[in-house]
Amino acid sequence: MNSSKSQKKPVVGYGGWEFARDFSAGIFGLLNTGRIFPAFGLLLLVIFGLIVWRLPDTDLAFVIGDFFDVLRSSTALAFGLFASSNVVWLVLFRKQKRIYENEINRLSDIRRDLFHLGNDQVLIEKHRTSNGSHVESYILPDSNDGKSKDMK
């Protein structure tokens, strides 16, 4: 029996470089998808953690006391209003995005009905949005496969 074939390769542990790779991929994934607030919150948490970690034990009580003093001041109100306005903005952004996606789907369904049904054409009156008080016009493709008269 060959000993080199029977031995398995050791499993490489999950070290610092792998964690850094996965962490940066996750952060850039948040930024690329427009979810910047979780990335910003994580950055603030890391900065706060580094400050607390580097402080001597004797100064930590003073920093915590100063933090609670700031929470009781008008600065905390300003930060609270800032955070709440960003949350409301995020909710409105998601709602607007959903409205746009629904409108795009509606228009693509109409386009499919008008141009891709073959012989079972849908009457254009089905898709009208007006009450007939003004003239409507539609641009339809040429029947000569897009070749203009000049190209003949």
- Whether 139 is covered by a domain: the verdict is no
Prediction pTM value: 0.41
How many domains does the chain divide into?
1
Closest CA to 76 of 85, 67, 64: 67
- Any idea what DSSP says for residue 9? P
pLDDT at residue 132 above 70?
no
Segment 101-130 shows an average pLDDT of 70
- Whether 78 is covered by a domain: the verdict is yes
- Whether 104 is covered by a domain: the verdict is yes
Distances from the Cα of 84 to the Cαs of 14, 20, 79, in angstroms?
A: 39, 32, 9
- Whether 147 is covered by a domain: the verdict is no
Tokens representing 14 are 């999950």
- Whether 150 is covered by a domain: the verdict is no
Per-residue confidence (pLDDT) for residue 152, from 0 to 100: 43
pLDDT band at 100 (very low <50, low <70, confident <90, very high): very high
Per-residue confidence (pLDDT) for residue 90, from 0 to 100: 87
Tokens representing 13 are 């542990």
- Whether 145 is covered by a domain: the verdict is no
Domain holding 111, by residue range, is 74-128
- Whether 82 is covered by a domain: the verdict is yes
Q: pLDDT, tens digit, for every residue of 58-82?
A: 888 888 888 888 888 888 888 889 9
- Whether 89 is covered by a domain: the verdict is yes
